[in-house]
């Protein structure tokens, strides 16, 4: 009745789409770093979009299925196998009881997700199943997974004719992959940048550094300077906020970021491209393109629309067979 961790990866945690309503108390939303990937995978399985999944980094965990399970893997691109046989990413697949899932070499991206039909069943903490490692709460005992941990699988409320073989379209998948150019809108402190920094932000190339993690993607590239030395009083930040650190390097905040920060918010990643940021690995390069708020909103809406088409297709298959 469960998944068991045979061998843990470097950082495997139970995540969902995060918690809302508690930022005012300093509790960040948390949740999957690549939330779009989780939404697509859950949709493929006929789950609620926000059902809990296992988020893995590389090297990833080795997991055994304790019961026949319909599941899907996606996010990063990697060599994956079930009982030694490779199977497609971004598609619903069935595992027999006792089957072993191995996630091998990373090909692209930096985080990979295992979603199971019915979702990972752990207790909610403040309305979410995501792991908050700071408070050591939520997810599985508030911590990263270890050898022998058993994760229960929730009951699926969709009928038993599960949408086996359902696949996500290339548009949805491409949106959940690293991309060279990240679209951003200007942030509240953008106008504090010097003319040179403004130019470097849109023309320069930045590389992700080794000290990137779930809190943020640290970048190195042209040093960006401000017109003013004024210290800022701490104000809100959220995943996708690009802060300028005192040494002139930018950091793109991710799911585990704080709720407030005192560094200038020079830009905000269009939420459609947050997935691509979360899938960027240390050493990889990226550039920024400034778009207006309307374009960011249009991208956001297009993704919601694509996802709702996928959802309708899956329901149709579940009702009438594939």
Partner 1 sequence: MSPELPKFEIKPLGEDCAIIDLGNEIDEAINDRAIAIAQAIEESPFEGFIECAPAYSSVAVYYDPCRLGGFGFSAVRSQIDIVVRSSSVFEPGEGRHHTIPVLFGNEHGPDLEEAAERNGLDTKEFIDTFVSTTYRVYILGFLPGFPYMGKVDDQIATPRRGNPRTRVAAGSVGIAGSQTGIYPFDSPGGWQIIGRTSYKVFDVSSKDPSRFKPGDTVRFSPDDLM
Which residues does 176 contact at the CB level (< 8 Å), separation at least 6? 34, 36, 37, 40, 74, 75, 275, 276, 279
The 17-46 site mask, x for binding partner 1 (CB under 8 A), equals: ---xxxxxxxxx------------------
Decide if residue 137 touches partner 1 (CB under 8 A). yes
> Per CB under 8 A, does 301 bind partner 1?
yes
Q: Is 270 in the site for partner 1 (CB under 8 A)?
A: yes
As measured in angstroms, the least distance from the Cβ of 12 to partner 1 is 21
Identify which range of 66-74, 130-138, 203-211, 212-220 contacts partner 1 by CB under 8 A.
130-138
Q: How far is the CB of 69 from partner 1 (least distance, A)?
A: 30
- Each residue 203-242 as x (binds partner 1 by CB under 8 A) or -, in order, gives ---------------------------x-xxxxxxx-xx-
Binding residue for partner 1 (CB under 8 A) from 125, 140, 206, 263?
125
Report 79-108 residues binding partner 1 (CB under 8 A).
none
* DSSP result, 12-75: -EEE-S---S-GGGT------SSHHHHHHHHHHTT--TT--EEEE-SSPPEEEESS-EEEEEEE
Q: Identify the residue among 64, 290, 297, 318 touching partner 1 (CB under 8 A).
A: 297
Q: Which residue of 42, 271, 279, 281 would you call a contact of partner 1, by CB under 8 A?
A: 271
Kindly tell me which residue out of 98, 146, 304, 322 binds partner 1, with binding defined by CB under 8 A: 304
**How does DSSP assign 73-141, residue by residue?**
EEEEEEEEEETTEE--SSB-EEE-TT-EEEEEEEEEEEEEEEEETT-B----BTTB---BTTTTBSTTT
Query: What contacts 252, CB < 8 A, 6 or more positions away?
Result: 182, 216, 217, 219, 240, 241, 242, 269, 277
**65/140 with CB nearer partner 1:** 140
Among 9, 75, 187, 264, binds partner 1 (CB under 8 A): 187
Q: Does residue 302 touch partner 1 according to CB under 8 A?
A: no
What is residue 266's DSSP assignment?
Answer: E
Q: Which residues contact 279 (CB under 8 A, 6 or more apart)?
A: 34, 75, 76, 108, 109, 110, 111, 176, 177, 178
With contacts defined by CB under 8 A, name the span among 66-74, 201-209, 282-290, 291-299 that binds partner 1.
291-299
Residue nearer to partner 1 on the CB measure, 158 or 297: 297
Residues 6+ apart with CB under 8 A from 305: none
Dist. CA 208–CA 240, nearest whole Å: 15
The binding site for partner 1 (CB under 8 A) comprises: 20-28, 125-126, 132, 134-137, 142, 185, 187-188, 230, 232-238, 240-241, 258-260, 265, 268-271, 293-294, 296-297, 300-301, 304
């Amino acid at each position: 009745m469960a998944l068991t961790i045979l061998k843990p990866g470097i950082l495997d945690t139970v995540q969902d789409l995060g918690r809302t309503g508690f930022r005012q108390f300093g509790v960040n939303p948390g949740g999957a770093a690549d939330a779009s990937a989780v939404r697509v995978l859950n949709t493929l399985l006929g789950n609620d979009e926000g059902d809990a999944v296992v988020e893995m980094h590389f090297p990833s965990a080795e997991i055994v299925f304790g019961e026949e399970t319909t599941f899907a893997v996606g996010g990063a691109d990697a060599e994956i196998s079930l009982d030694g046989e490779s199977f497609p990413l971004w598609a619903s697949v069935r595992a027999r009881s006792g089957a072993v899932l191995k996630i091998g070499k990373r090909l692209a991206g930096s985080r990979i997700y295992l979603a199971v039909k019915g979702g990972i069943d752990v207790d909610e903490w403040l309305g979410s199943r995501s792991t908050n490692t700071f408070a050591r709460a939520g997810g599985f005992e508030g911590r990263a997974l270890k050898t022998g941990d058993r994760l229960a699988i929730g009951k699926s409320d969709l009928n038993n004719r599960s949408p086996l073989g359902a696949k996500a379209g290339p548009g949805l998948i491409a949106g959940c992959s690293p991309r060279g150019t990240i679209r951003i809108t200007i942030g509240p402190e953008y106008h504090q940048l010097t003319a040179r920094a403004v130019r470097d932000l849109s023309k320069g190339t930045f590389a992700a550094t080794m000290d990137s993690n779930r809190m943020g993607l640290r970048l190195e590239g042209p040093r960006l300077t401000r017109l003013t030395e004024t210290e800022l009083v701490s104000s809100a930040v959220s995943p996708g906020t690009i802060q300028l650190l005192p040494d002139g390097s930018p950091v793109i905040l991710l799911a585990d970021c704080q709720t407030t920060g005192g560094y200038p918010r020079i830009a905000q990643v269009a939420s459609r491209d947050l997935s691509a940021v979360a899938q960027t690995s240390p050493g990889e390069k990226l550039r920024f393109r400034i778009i207006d708020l309307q374009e960011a909103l249009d991208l956001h809406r297009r993704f919601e629309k694509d996802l709702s088409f996928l959802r309708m297709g899956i329901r149709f298959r579940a009702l009438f067979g594939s």
